[in-house]
Structure 1
Amino acid sequence: MSRLFALHGRESSLVIEQAASGLLWRHWGARLPDELLAGPWLEAGRPVPTFSLDAPIPLTLVPSFGLGWYGQSALLAHRAGQDFAQGFADCSVVPDGDRLVCSLRDAVAGIAVQLVITLDPETDVASITTSLTNIGDGVLDLHWLAAATLPLPPEAQAVRHHAGRHINEFAEQTDRLGQFIWLRENRHGITSHGHFPGAVVLGPGTTDHAGPAWGAQLAWSGNHRQLIERLDDGRSQWQLGGWLAPGEVRLAPGAQHDSPAVLACFSPHGLGGVARGFHAAVRGPVPQRPRPVLINSWEGFYFDHDPARMMALADAAAGIGVERFVLDDGWFAGRDDARTSLGDWWVDPRKYPDGLKPLADHVRGLGMEFGLWVEPEMVSPDSEMFRAHPEWALQLAGRPLATARHQLVLDLTRACVTDHLFDRLSALVADLGVAYLKWDHNRDLAPAGDAEGRAAYGRQVRATWALMDRLRAAHPSLEIESCAGGGGRIDAGMAARAQRFWASDCIDARLRIGLQRGFLQFLPPEMMGAHIGAERCHTTGRRFSLAFQALVAAQGHLGLEFDLTRLDAAERARLAGWIAFYKAHRHLLHGNVWTGTAGDGVAWHAAGGDGEWLLIVYRTEIMLQRHAAPLPLPFIDDGLWQVAEVRPGEIRDAHRYSGAWLAQSGLVIPPGKPDTATALRLRRV
């Protein structure tokens, strides 16, 4: 007899049918009643199509190859060429509060799989993990294991995802779904700049703020794969998992392979509803302390370090309200450019003859935290570390050591390497009182062979996570920023270890509007590093006003990245005003987020909640219309609202509106030139 198992959130439900042929997907989508009446059982309630098996196999939790499932399989494995076909008829489901523990067993193929599915009733975000155990004789070669296979209804019409490259991450893409396989794969070894491991599937008419949307993202910092395939019953399946290199996972009898977690969210409130669900899930129950405004030395000084100049930068930063000072690349032994010295993690005596402690003490004496740039996973061929331990680099016998940015990747699967790195980093943190590490990773993995010549991609990711976890356990107050040439390692797996992501090495304010919107589809604003740079952007050459840069950077965790000592008194005062503006509003900026576009070169970003919002309206192009159209504000609820323009130290043009008017008819926004922005404070009165 079949049986249904359901998990319910506030606005979504997830339903599995336990049948004789296995565990079948019945529903993931809109909220269903607590007491379900599902009609005919899926296994027995459908006619057999022509030219089919007499008992065709519906979509299961783990669709498998070789026994009548002709769609994409969630599992591909074999044992010396045998046991290539799998089927899980021996299944059980154990409800446990807000989660289901699903066990599947194939005694013939010698494989056991366990899925743990949790649905948070507050955020509507499901977390799914899959573990596979070799219960047979002999080594099991695993080629693919989906971390989750998700069902999509027939009305799933399009998929919103993101492509990109270094200095142009999170480029929005939308593809129609049809009678084909939509496939995205990443084999860069890290999350990558151009293949974010997640997407949002859209229904008919779904917008930023309304309509059904199904979102999923893989919590994994390495190679990954996701696909969407239309099935014979009009539904689609969506698989996400870690991409495996040939021979990467070979399980001895009794050994287990654990997938990364998948976070999945259904919302009836469009793309924004999915984003807010993800934000709440990634944040967890304990909020971060207010995000300190920081200054980073990189674009102001690059490798040109001098203690007096850095202390002068710290003085200037503290004088305008900066709360964290980060010394970027160039501080360690022999590091005059990107060609040398990675791995030699001791202070360069030529640049800092008295070490870094005087600078760190000076920074703290000004009331700021001291942060430091490191790139622990890398080694330069021209370094003391590599000359002493060339075997520590990832490599393959007979293959050239391919460099990128003149550097190699260390093999963190070796305990001696991670022990060495932990000792060096822990000593720096303890000796200098480092509160913050900007942890960089400036190249892809190629080749990625370990000491035995096996592919080490996934183990490298887990070893990196373990090193970060170990370091933070030893120094509980330490914060880490994840950077990989900017946005090359941004994902929910790293979010469990890093408190900040450097979203891109490009801080061009106009480009950042779309880039940051893509980031915010999956991760919360307080984790998004966003900086005010020099008036002329170093990566694009475009010039932007301070006000425009400040209001773009205000979407995330605000920082500065240029030489403040070159500013005159009036310029410093204006910058201090924008820092004070950010501090006054960061409790709103790091709350609920709504984003949108309004045509005619207008984009907007609103953040807050509980009767108070900060709305920022951006103009990126010259107006085509002679008059700006009103901007509906779907996040505003009923009641009376006061709307006022806010600037540093100034509130002006306050007016009152009914909430219904703002939500339906909209707010008339002021005209403006390209690359300008206006901030408005909305309060319920």
Structure 2
Amino acid sequence: MIRNFDNEWFVLDTKNTTYAFRVIKTGQLEHLYYGEKIRIEEKEDLLCLAEQHAYAPGATANYTNEDRSFSLDDMRLEISTLGKSDLREPFIEVINSDGCRTSDFLFKSASVLDKKSEINTLPSSYIEYKEEGNETIDNKDIELQITLVDDYYKQKLILIYDVFYDKDVITKRAVFKNDGDSSISLLRLMSNQLDFATNDYTFTTFNGAWAREMQRNDRRLTAGKFVNSSRDGISSNKANPFVMIYKNGATENTGECYGINLVYSGNHYEACEVSAHYKLRFVHGISPDGFNFVIDANEEFETPESVMTYSKNGFNGMSQNMHRFVRENIVRGNWKNKIRPVLLNSWEAAYFDINESKLLKLAKASKDVGIELFVMDDGWFGKRDDDSCSLGDWYVNKKKLPNGLGSLAKKVNDLGLMFGIWVEPEMVSVDSDLYREHPDWAMDLKDKPHSEGRTQRILDLCNPDVVEYIISAMSDVFAGANISYVKWDMNRVFTDVYSKYLPAEKQGEVYHRYVIGLYKVMATLTEKFPDILFEGCASGGNRFDLGIISYFPQIWASDDTDCLYRVTCQTGYSYGYPLSTVSAHVSASPNHQTLRKSPLDTRFNVAAFGNFGYEINLCDLKKEELAIIKRQIETYKNWRDVFQFGSFYRGRRMLLHGEHTEYRNEDVFGHGNINEWTVVSKDKKAAVGMIIQALVEPNKQYEYFKPMGLDSDIKYHFTNESKRYNIKNFGDLINTASPVHIKQDSLLHNIIARHVTMPGECEDYVAYGSVLMNAGINLKQAFGGTGYDESVRYFQDLGSRMYFMEGE
């Protein structure tokens, strides 16, 4: 709900939050409040929220000599400009035709709309309007547009606020219009500015690198400025655009927390600045680094959409708001609410060494264990035997697939499997027919050495001919076989950023125009092939953002499939992204990225929390391992609606070395050794929980599991899955029970292990949700070196358990 009191006071309400600002007498917008919902019935109720100014602070400048009671540098503002006494991070920066950088945008008008307006060049959130007879519901007072004007330079700045009432989400964006007679240079235009009265907050970012995405970092905000940004040309694994700002002392379930994200896939910028007067400013939008957009007379520029939510119920409360919003207002298309198939990807099973015979053998093994979708990864096109060639040549390698792509897809379909492929359409290899024919299509510098990444170059998506080529080439591939799934990869960062298509004065537009071109490609292909399940990827999570999710409903979270790392990675994603957007696979042990050995059960337990699959050579596994995988897939299928579309909650959290938070326990034992997750069905009648420990702690035999998000008044049947364990896991302790001595790893030891397994513990309780959430379940005693039977929990390094809760 949006209320406008006399074109002076504005209030935006969601179900549980209120956002308010006003127009001050000099025409700027003063931010008043954003937080827990407050009762406002008339403008007089807002008077106490306005800051009281009598004299401006010393050594500051006044906006005008006619009123010396305040300085903009000491006010909470909706937007800030350069040159008019506010010396903090600006919202907008313009170089006018006379070279001046001072801007002065003042209130002109306001309008309230009952429908959300569209962004012309970028994806954004959307609302599905519901019809009830002749009445349209849930679309009253959805959008507020505030028009600000700089009369001197004849420029407009339109601030657009959209309210998603039930999600407790408000989105913000801006449109700049040049109504003057001359071109100007836009150096910065943010999507969101949020000013706080104090600096009693912590800024949380999610940083990392390849194979180490989404590591949570917390910084208590004191004097100065902290920036989280990307210069990679993509949203980046170094600094995801999702961030949190929380009141110091907040926890997973208590305290004030703001979550903010950007619907954008390029360079982004999030800055928190604490002023000399202890006020906190947050700005969020396209990164100004390397950005210089020329706006000609009568042209405009629109920013991506910033998404923000508030919860008084800590990080989990904030995450629930974000998850619902992303699932229902960002993800779209035929796969929005459709169950995702269990897949097997050929990459770690074969890498580039593929051929039709090998792939069909792997597909047959996949079908035998219950896989539903077989994916052929890199190596199927051009003369691609390694990563040095053929990107851009999207025709089948007939040496590997002599009967073509369509024939292979049909043979896979005949096994009862869907068929998927890998592509990397935004790239070109120098050793390719495409590059030899169109070297001008690559983004590089003429006659200068190129700073190469993965022996490939980036196609110039500023060029409409390149955009049309990618659409045409991919359309031919997707239409040439019965393809049900596409993994869309992007494996390098930007270097030598230069478009041969654009003139010199527009080279500062390359980063943004690339993103616009990319979105045109994705929009066209997803509309043309609505039944294909597209999965985004950029060397894993190097472009995991709401822009990509607007077209592709899921993204490969990381190239690192190590289950211990994935706990931290997937926990990181969970703060801002729902499980239905995160893809996770079971891979080999030792892991290909870390060489860490881990139990097959734990690899499954972690990967099941998301869009699930395998990245492993099934043809090389033992019968016992294949039987375990078959049971895992059966378990996942029985519960995947909960896994993919349930509400996810974080419990106790594992903290690994190298990850920095205020709550960090440097000792791996204790708090930082245990991680708990719970995912709960929409009707709260079913839930799955998982507990994992990093290392065994000697003589620590007792543990508990405390699920979250259940219905307090529903009685649940709480169980675990029955397991049996290889007796070799107990080493030469077998001799404490054997009448004859058995040498560890001997032939006799191996023979016994094939016939004798050790029983696992059974957890079987009936309890109300209030009992499970508040008191928790005291789990069976763990092995502590004093004895073992079916009443003891075998919980080794990287040990984990999955628990099932069904409402009665």
Alignment TM class, shorter chain as reference: over 0.9
CA distance in 1, matches of 2:513, 2:632: 44
Give 1:14's aligned residue. 19
Amino acid at match of 1:657: A
Q: Is the 8 A contact 1:218 1:261 kept in 2?
A: yes
The structure 2 residue matched to 1:141, chosen from 162, 180, 185, is 185
Amino acid at match of 1:683: E
Structure of higher CA gyration radius:
2
Change in CA separation of 1:202 and 1:343 when aligned onto 2, cut-off 3 Å:
same
Give 2:772's aligned residue. 662
Q: Is the 8 A contact 2:78 2:195 kept in 1?
A: no
Change in CA separation of 1:507 and 1:653 when aligned onto 2, cut-off 3 Å:
same
Change in CA separation of 1:659 and 1:47 when aligned onto 2, cut-off 3 Å:
farther
Matched, 1:548 2:594: no
CA distance in 2, matches of 1:625, 1:149: 52
Give 2:749's aligned residue. none
Deviation at 1:587, TM superposition (A): 1.4
CA distance in 1, matches of 2:368, 2:618: 10
Matched, 1:39 2:47: yes
CA distance in 1, matches of 2:413, 2:196: 53
Moved more, 436-445 or 609-618: 609-618
Moved more, 375-384 or 235-244: 235-244
Deviation at 1:358, TM superposition (A): 1.9
CA distance in 2, matches of 1:120, 1:642: 33
Matched, 1:4 2:9: yes
Give the alignment of 1:38-437 within 5 angstroms.
38-40=46-48, 42=50, 47-52=55-60, 53=62, 54=68, 55-57=70-72, 58-96=75-113, 97-154=141-198, 156-231=200-275, 234-246=278-290, 248-284=292-328, 287-397=336-446, 399-437=448-486
Amino acid at match of 1:536: P
Q: Secondary structure at the match of 1:347?
A: coil
Deviation at 1:363, TM superposition (A): 1.5
Amino acid at match of 1:665: A
Number of residue pairs matched?
685
Percent of residue pairs bearing the same amino acid type:
25
Q: Is the 8 A contact 1:90 1:106 kept in 2?
A: no
CA distance in 2, matches of 1:197, 1:40: 34
**Over residues 102-134 of structure 1, what are the superposed CA-to-partner deviations in whole Å (9 max), with x where a residue is unaligned?**
111111133211121112111111111111111
Q: Is the 8 A contact 2:345 2:377 kept in 1?
A: yes
**Over residues 43-91 of structure 1, what are the superposed CA-to-partner deviations in whole Å (9 max), with x where a residue is unaligned?**
7655433343214223322211101112111111112453411112233
Deviation at 1:664, TM superposition (A): 2.5
Amino acid at match of 2:34: W
The structure 2 residue matched to 1:457, chosen from 511, 534, 547, is 511
Amino acid at match of 1:241: G
CA distance in 1, matches of 2:525, 2:13: 38
Deviation at 1:631, TM superposition (A): 4.2
**Over residues 480-500 of structure 1, what are the superposed CA-to-partner deviations in whole Å (9 max), with x where a residue is unaligned?**
111111110000111101121
Deviation at 1:629, TM superposition (A): 4.8
CA distance in 2, matches of 1:637, 1:148: 36
Gaps of 5+ in 2: 1-5, 63-67, 114-140, 654-670, 725-760, 783-794
Deviation at 1:155, TM superposition (A): 6.2
The structure 2 residue matched to 1:506, chosen from 543, 553, 560, is 560
Q: Is the 8 A contact 1:587 1:608 kept in 2?
A: no
Deviation at 1:95, TM superposition (A): 2.4
Deviation at 1:167, TM superposition (A): 0.6
Q: Is the 8 A contact 1:17 1:24 kept in 2?
A: yes
RMSD: 2.0
Deviation at 1:634, TM superposition (A): 4.2
CA distance in 1, matches of 2:480, 2:768: 57
Give 2:697's aligned residue. 623
Give 2:716's aligned residue. 642
Moved more, 631-640 or 273-282: 631-640
**Over residues 597-629 of structure 1, what are the superposed CA-to-partner deviations in whole Å (9 max), with x where a residue is unaligned?**
261511011001323211111111223672435
Q: Secondary structure at the match of 2:245?
A: strand
Amino acid at match of 2:21: I
Give 1:608's aligned residue. 680
Amino acid at match of 1:677: S
Deviation at 1:398, TM superposition (A): 5.0
CA distance in 2, matches of 1:604, 1:41: 41
Q: Is the 8 A contact 1:630 1:665 kept in 2?
A: no
CA distance in 1, matches of 2:432, 2:400: 17
CA distance in 1, matches of 2:34, 2:283: 14
Change in CA separation of 1:292 and 1:649 when aligned onto 2, cut-off 3 Å:
farther
CA distance in 2, matches of 1:649, 1:510: 21
The structure 1 residue matched to 2:634, chosen from 570, 580, 583, is 580
CA distance in 2, matches of 1:493, 1:587: 25
CA distance in 2, matches of 1:550, 1:294: 13
Q: Is the 8 A contact 1:7 1:99 kept in 2?
A: no
Change in CA separation of 1:625 and 1:28 when aligned onto 2, cut-off 3 Å:
farther
Moved more, 640-649 or 49-58: 640-649
Amino acid at match of 1:273: G
Change in CA separation of 1:574 and 1:301 when aligned onto 2, cut-off 3 Å:
same
Deviation at 1:572, TM superposition (A): 1.6
Amino acid at match of 1:659: G
Change in CA separation of 1:568 and 1:41 when aligned onto 2, cut-off 3 Å:
closer
Deviation at 1:642, TM superposition (A): 2.8
CA distance in 2, matches of 1:679, 1:643: 14
Amino acid at match of 1:352: L
Change in CA separation of 1:49 and 1:470 when aligned onto 2, cut-off 3 Å:
same
**Over residues 240-283 of structure 1, what are the superposed CA-to-partner deviations in whole Å (9 max), with x where a residue is unaligned?**
11114546311111111111111111011111112111111111
CA distance in 1, matches of 2:84, 2:804: 61
Q: Secondary structure at the match of 2:166?
A: coil
The structure 2 residue matched to 1:467, chosen from 497, 504, 521, is 521
Amino acid at match of 2:71: P
- Please list every run of at least 4 consecutive aligned residues from structure 1 whose deviation after the TM superposition is greater than 6 angstroms: 648-651
Moved more, 88-97 or 184-193: 88-97
CA distance in 1, matches of 2:163, 2:618: 48
Q: Is the 8 A contact 2:322 2:576 kept in 1?
A: yes
Deviation at 1:643, TM superposition (A): 4.3
CA distance in 1, matches of 2:7, 2:166: 29
CA distance in 2, matches of 1:153, 1:12: 17
Q: Is the 8 A contact 1:179 1:230 kept in 2?
A: yes
Amino acid at match of 2:47: G
Q: Is the 8 A contact 2:215 2:568 kept in 1?
A: yes
Amino acid at match of 2:347: W
Q: Secondary structure at the match of 2:546?
A: coil
CA distance in 2, matches of 1:47, 1:35: 31
Give 1:518's aligned residue. 572
Q: Secondary structure at the match of 2:778?
A: coil
Amino acid at match of 2:362: L
Amino acid at match of 1:513: V
Q: Is the 8 A contact 2:680 2:710 kept in 1?
A: no
Amino acid at match of 2:777: L
Amino acid at match of 1:666: G
Q: Secondary structure at the match of 1:570?
A: helix
Give 2:534's aligned residue. 480
Change in CA separation of 1:171 and 1:637 when aligned onto 2, cut-off 3 Å:
same
Q: Is the 8 A contact 2:718 2:767 kept in 1?
A: no
Deviation at 1:566, TM superposition (A): 1.5
The structure 1 residue matched to 2:647, chosen from 592, 595, 612, is 592
